[in-house]
Chain A
Amino acid sequence: MSQLQARFFTEYKKFAIDDVPFSIPAASEVTDLSNVINKLLEFKIADHKHVEFDFLVRGQFLRTSLANHMETENISTEEVVEIEYVQKFTAPQPEECIMHDDWISSVEADSEWILTGSYDKTARIWSLEGKAVMTVAGHTDVVKDVAWVKRDGLSSLLLTASLDQTVLLWEWNSERNKVKARHCCRGHAGSVDTIAVDPTRTKFCSGSWDKMLKIWSAESQVINKIKRPDSDKNSFSSLQTPLMTLSGHGEAVSSVLWTDAEELCSASWDHTIRLWDAETGGQKSMLTGSKVFNCISYSPLCRRLASGSTDRHVRLWDPRSKDGSLVLLSLTSHTGWVTAVRWSLSNNHQLVSGSFDNMVKLWDIRSCKAPLYDLAAHEDRVMCADWTESGVRNRWRLCVCCELCVVCENCIVLLVGTGRFYT
């Protein structure tokens, strides 16, 4: 078997070639195929520049020679093989490094600003270029999680959750560079480890060590009325009580997110991921794992849930499946606790995971045996990661933070994927 019949196709009109089968050597690898496509394109388009391509055979990335791949995937070599090609996702390079002077517990990026929470009890706002813009101080203990709520022009709403059992809602005016605590959400009996803002940007949910999930309103008008004059301890303008409390977890809640406007998803140390109805407060379903879950992420594009746990694996779940513990895929490459996992906002195949083994890995679920890239720019344990929503259509950034604990100097490394062709 030295030659294979293959037909190439792509979703990118720009790189489309004639839909005819080619006879290609079975031993050819990605670079060979890429050269073939480039040759064909050169014939077709006069001013074609060389582009590296990646190839998919029946939804799986080609990583070995074509013959090997087809043998392992049990694809018949008798028929014409359909090979999809996409532009190669080039290796992300570290672009900027933002130094923090304490551990960074969380990071959240939007199209303009990066928000980090730190163990020095503050949250900080950075520009995408890595310039410190604002320090949000007000918590009496470690800031465990941060979140952007919404932006109205120059003023933005942001949330910080802390070990001091409170969530603070801040209003930040980027023009005047003033930050003001809108109100304080008090009610948890343990450290608030995770917060998530709902898609309508009017509510948010917090998960705490005290096993509870609480849904709070992000609207400031309602709570202004319930002002507590006796709260002399803090200077916040108002206190807020939760709209709803969801209890059911047997252990600390480690991660929470909204899958849509009415559905909440939470991961816990009790080895379960639970789906809640945000309207009624009832538990809809439960996914059971075998280890403590550190983090979860949901992609509305592919409707998959990714979880990182203490046993080194990133697991993909289908949250809609009713029979609990169905793992679709297990991505195994890390050697430490997986502490951060985040789906790409734009690519329904990509996710990033960070671990205590100092590695950040970029995965494509179409090649689940090995990550696409290992990002080894960090010298310390990775605590959290996030993608930026770039204003430029084709530029996506990955914000990852890690601790650098020995010298108490911590950093954010911004990793930029330079691939231009994501959808």
Chain B
Amino acid sequence: MSARGAAAERNSGMKKTTEKRKNREKEEQQQEEEELPMFDKNADKVGHLDDTDEEKEDLSDSEESVFSGLEDSGTDDDDDEEDDGDDDDDDDGDDASGEEEEEQDEENHNKVEKDPAAGETSLTPQTEDKPAKSRKLKKKKSVTSGGDEEEERGKSERDSGLKISSQVDEYEQDTSDEEDIRNTVGNIPMEWYKDFPHIGYDLDGKKIFKPIRSKDELDEFLEKMENPDYWRTVQDKMTGSDVRLSDEQVDLVHRLQHGKFGDINFNEYEPAIDFFSNEVMIHPVTNRPEDKRSFIPSLIEKEKVGKLVHAIKMGWIKPRRPKDSAPLYYDLWAKEDPNSILGRHKMHVPAPKIRLPGHEESYNPPPEYLLTEEERLTWEQQDPEERKLSLLPQKFPSLRAVPAFTRFIHERFERCLDLYLCPRQRKMRVNVNPEDLIPKLPKPKDLHPFPTTQSLVYRGHSSLVRSISVAPGGQWLVSGSDDGTVRFWEVATARCLKTVEVGGAVKSVAWSPNPAVCLVAISHGNTVVLMNPGLGDRLILSATDQLISSYEEPTEVKDQPVEWSLAEGTEHQQGQRLILTHPRAVKQVTWHGKGDYLACVMPDVSSNVQVVIHQVSKRRTQNPFRKNKGMVQCVSFHPIRPYFFVATQRHVRVYNLIKQELTKKLMTNCKWVSSMAIHPGGDNVICGSYDCRLAWFDLDLSTKPYKMLRHHKKALRGVAYHRQYPLFASGSDDGSVIVCHGMVYNDLLQNPLIVPVKVLKGHTITHDLGVLDVAFHPTQPWVFSSGADGTVRLFT
């Protein structure tokens, strides 16, 4: 058993004793595992004390100083003792200094006593290897502390007190420096120093002096007689000091002298087991010598090899087939057109780069990157895809403490997926600026002329003005109101030139578009009055009167739904010429472009006679529709072709009057159509509805609205096209007239351009009604509007 083993044993024994002590003393329980450092600490401290002691000794006693080089082990011991003593002191409490000194003396004495023992132990390192201080220490302890429990206890106590600041001496166990560092002269015959007073040099380069041997023969003898250990004291050649051999060493010496093994436990006489025995084993071994043939090459093989050699010589076999230089993988781009490589490179998309690690991925991230408890909880609750961070930032004291990254494989795999699934073709993403999607509308100021300001107000009506109409020349304006009057105005000055009482709320007025006659159709109640207002060219006025008076009663009287009668008396003087009595209330009158036909609307869900068309020159009335297709809201003639537009609540039907058939049915997508106007070109229709919409139909395009404008806030009451300018206007219950630029191009491929250009306000809202009718001036870009406030306004 080696000394180290013994030391370990003792060490364990130490532990036991410490444990015992711990049972008694509760405050040191937690430091049990740090026993080793405890010892180290002890040793360290001891070393320190040792230095001071050494110095002291150097100063005081020269003899002592001679031993200083050898003191290492000894001082350890000594310090131990001293420490122990200290501990004792601690245990005892505060003693007088004098007592301490006494004890110190005692300890010194002990030291002297134990010094030989130290020398003994120090032998061990010389012979085998130099053990660490602690081990020596332990060894010492095992030697010295036969049963000195108190000493042990005090020591461990002290140790426990020092444990906290204990540091591991890394070179504690280092055995690399095997040489005896007490003397630096090395492994040389020490006789060389026979004639010198010193025996070598210590680590500091100081001479190690030989111990003064002033002993004469007598002293030698006396010591031989008195010292019981004289027989086991040998001189250390390296230091020249006397070393007392321990029992084990003495034992070892004895054993060697007797030609025995140094190790006690070594059994020289192990029972021999015969390897090749008669016993049958499952894996039999034999000691039969090898056959001779095993050393002779095989003939068969020789023959075979000869054949191969022959074949190679003859060139039948190629010894090394030339390597196929063609790669084994399939060249995907082998057949690619070399010119297209350029294209491929152009489309090259580099693999996505891994994001560089940030602070949060550091092993020691700044504190602001560390997640708080709440953040950590939310992080854990989030889906892995949703997480902002793929890992939790953690703080480690050192890089060594960072554990293996558990997601490493996973992450590598994902990276591979990234590379593999990375789209290698450039996505032709179209960057669309939302503003670009807005159609490029010309600025309103580029679309002049259009009405911009209110210029004139035609005041005079006392109730809401339902309908207005402008004379074809543009000099006069007629307005019909709920106060039972029709007023004729001079457009340029807003002068009311004529007021005609018709005796009923006027629903609709319409100036005949024929410039050769001057007739105004006025509807109130069941009657429609054709009036010659007496304004304008006298020749035309007389021609109009002539036209009416020249009528000759036809011979056969047809049954007509409408009764025609001539106005007489005051009515005639007022200008009324013909009075047409209808079966029901007439809501709207409208002229054909030639001014001979006049259509009247009598809305009624149940009747088949909702629309009648009158021919003024022949005083004929016809009912063009046999069937009731819904309540008719308004009608209009096509300005050029023989078409007739009939607007019911939801649809506008276009009839061909000559063929007498339905041509088109326009879906307005509105709930209730209120008004309708036909573009002077005839291919476009606008419909205003009570649900605030204005639908523009391009008849060539579709039966669905080309454009739907929802620019009014309330129900639309009237819409109108300008005859010359690309303008249309809509009047609404919100009191405003909105003028839009509505350009219709001659080019059939170009869709109409619709730009709202102006909101005209002026009418005050009366009884929730605003603008009731709008009409354009025939030649100027002016719009008239009639409102519920009893005024007609001109915007220019």
Interface residues of A (CB under 8 A from B): 103, 105, 119, 142, 164-165, 189-191, 209-210, 251-252, 254, 269, 290-292, 294, 310-311, 336-337, 356, 383, 403, 405-406
Q: State whether A269 touches B537 (Cβ < 8 A).
A: no
What CA separation (Å) do A269 and B449 show in the bound complex? 14
Contact B537 A189 (CB under 8 A): yes
B386-397 contact mask (Cβ, 8 Å, vs A): 1 or 0: 000000000000
- Inside 8 A of B536's CB, which chain A residues have their CB? 190
Q: Which residue of A lies closest to B452 (CB)?
A: A311
Known contacts A119-B495, A251-B779, A292-B780; can you find 10 more A-B pairs with CB under 8 A?
A164-B538, A165-B537, A165-B538, A191-B475, A252-B474, A252-B475, A291-B449, A291-B796, A294-B492, A337-B455
Q: Give residues of chain B (537-585) contacting chain A, Cβ–Cβ below 8 Å.
A: 537-539
Chain B 422-472 residues near chain A, CB threshold 8 A: 448-449, 455-456, 459
In the complex, chain B residues 487-522 whose Cβ is within 8 Å of any chain A Cβ: 492-493, 495, 497
Contact yes or no, B449 A290, CB < 8 A? yes
Task: Determine the chain B residues whose CB is within 8 A of the CB of A290 once the complex forms.
Answer: 448-449
**Distance (Å) between the CB of B488 and the closest chain A CB?**
12
Name the one of A164, A311, A383 contacting B493, with C-beta atoms under 8 angstroms. A383
Q: Does B186 contact A (CB under 8 A)?
A: no
Q: Give Cα A405–Cα B475 distance, bound, in whole angstroms.
A: 19
A182 to B495, CA, bound (A): 30
Q: How far is the CA of A406 from the CA of B459 in the complex (A)?
A: 9
CB–CB A310/B537 < 8 A: no
> In whole angstroms, what is the CA distance A113 to B490 when docked?
29
Q: Count CB-based A-B contacts (< 8 Å).
A: 47
Tell me, yes or no, whether B473 is within 8 Å of chain A by CB: yes
B758-784 vs A, CB cutoff 8 Å, 1 = contact: the mask equals 000000000000000000000110000
CA distance A403 to B492 in the complex (A): 13
Partner of A209 from B459, B473, B539 at Cβ < 8 Å? B473
CB of A190 within 8 A of CB of B475, answer yes
- For A119, the closest partner residue in chain B by CB is B495
Chain A neighbourhood of B779, CB < 8 A: 251, 269
In whole angstroms, what is the CA distance A142 to B537 when docked? 14
**6 contacting pairs across A/B (C-beta < 8 A):** A103-B493, A105-B493, A164-B538, A190-B537, A337-B796, A403-B495
In the bound complex, how far is the Cα of B543 from the Cα of A189, in angstroms?
13
Known: A189-B539, A290-B449. A103 touches B495 (CB 8 A): yes
**B496: shortest Cβ distance to chain A, in Å?**
8
CA distance A403 to B475 in the complex (A): 19
Instruction: Please give, as numbers and ranges, the residues of chain A lying within 8 Å of B456 by CB-CB distance.
Output: 337, 356
**Complex CA–CA separation, A358 to B128 (angstroms):** 132
Closest to B460 in A: A405
A residues in contact with B796, CB < 8 Å = 291-292, 310-311, 337
Within 8 A of A (CB), among B91-121: none
A209-B473, A251-B779, A269-B780 known; A356+B455 contact, CB < 8 A: yes
Please name all residues of chain A whose beta carbon is closer than 8 Å to the beta carbon of B455 when the two chains form the complex.
310, 336-337, 356
- The closest CB in chain B to the CB of A252 belongs to B475
Q: What residues of chain B lie closer than 8 Å to A105, measured between beta carbons?
A: 493
Q: Is the CB of A405 within 8 A of B495?
A: yes
Min Cβ gap B725→A in Å is: 13
Please name all residues of chain B whose beta carbon is closer than 8 Å to the beta carbon of A210 when the two chains form the complex. 537
Within the complex, the shortest CB–CB distance from B448 to chain A, in Å, comes to 8
List of 6 A-B pairs having minimum Cβ-Cβ separation, nearest first: A189-B537, A310-B796, A209-B475, A337-B455, A251-B779, A190-B537
Which residues does chain A contribute within 8 Å of B459, judged by CB atoms?
Answer: 405-406
Among the interface residues B456, B492, B539, which one has the most CB atoms of the partner chain A within 10 A?
B492
The interface centre, meaning the residue of B456, B459, B493 with most chain A CB atoms within 10 A of its CB, is B493
B543 → chain A, closest Cβ, in Å? 12
The docked-state distance in angstroms from the alpha carbon of A119 to that of B796 is 24
Contacts of B473 in A (CB 8 A): 190, 209
Residues of B within 8 A of A269 (CB): 779-780
Q: Which residue of B lies closest to A335 (CB)?
A: B453
A200 to chain B, nearest CB (A): 31
Chain B residues within an 8 Å CB radius of A291: 449, 796
Bound Cα distance from A103 to B492, whole angstroms: 14
Q: How far is the CA of A406 from the CA of B538 in the complex (A)?
A: 29
**Chain A residue with the shortest CB-CB distance to B454:** A336
| Smallest CB separation, B762 vs chain A (Å) | 13
Give Cα A291 to B779, complex, Å. Answer: 12
Name the distance in Å between A152's Cβ and chain B's nearest Cβ: 34
**Chain B residues within an 8 Å CB radius of A403:** 493, 495
In the complex, chain B residues whose CB is within 8 Å of the CB of A311: 796
CB-CB under 8 A from A251, the residues of chain B are 779
Which residues of chain B are within 8 angstroms of A292 by Cβ–Cβ distance? 780, 796
Q: In the complex, which of the residues B449, B475, B539 has the most CB atoms of chain A within 10 Å of its own CB atom?
A: B475
CB contacts (< 8 Å) of A142 on chain B: these are: 495, 497
Residue of B nearest to A339 (CB): B493
Interface centre among A164, A165, A310 (most CB of B within 10 A): A310
- A306 to B537 CA separation, bound complex (whole angstroms): 31
- CB of A356 to closest CB in B, whole Å: 7
**A189 / chain B contacts, CB cutoff of 8 Å:** 537, 539
- A191 and B475 alpha carbons, distance in the complex (Å): 10
Complexed CA–CA distance, A310 and B795 (Å): 11
